[in-house]
Structure 1
Amino acid sequence: MIRKFAKAVAVTAVVVASVATIANVQPAQAGNAGAAAVGGFVAGAFVGSVLSQPRYTAPAPVYIAPAPRYRHRPEPWTRAWYRYCSAKYRSFNPNTGYFVAYSGNHRFCR
């Protein structure tokens, strides 16, 4: 923000100098008055654009990583495995470790 203010002050000084030049125009130097007026207009447009900029900065986006997903399956033939497969598949056979899929095929519970 200080840099923008310093630019605005410098440009304002240039505008004041060009206006002072226009005010002290002698009849022999009347050809330079148009160039000074154009320069003053350009400097004023620049100062206006600098001063009209927003005076805030948007905060940087913060990335929040999603929670890790664990796909834990118990080891076969443990109590946890029997509970898992019995709860997941209604056709689970605990003696063989297989269940009947919708296709009719027997599949081992993993």
Structure 2
Amino acid sequence: MKVRHAVQQDIPKIAEIHVKSWQTTYQGIINQEYLDGLRIEDQEESWRRRSLEGTFVAEDAEGVFGFASFGKQRDERYPTYDGELYAIYLLQEKQKSGAGIALIS
């Protein structure tokens, strides 16, 4: 497994991971109808409008299976922090593999 900066070609896989991980992780927590309505195409469009600066992917021989996005601290109540973890998602079958720790590192 390796971690690298995300590139534009990763966006379709990032969008897929984003949706699939929500659907597995938040099942029973968030309304199922909402989860079932999540669309990879919508997430892909959203990711195409963003900068990938601060976004990293985890990949292995099978391809990209996780991502993390970092950036500027957005909450003014905590001015001493330099940055913030915006998102971290892994496909369910790759969770507990150490990839989350690698992405944060």
The interval holding the TM-score normalised by the smaller chain is under 0.3
Greater Cα radius of gyration, structure 1 or 2: 1
**TM-score, length basis structure 2:** 0.24
**TM-score, length basis structure 1:** 0.23
Q: Name the structure where helix makes up a greater proportion of residues.
A: 1
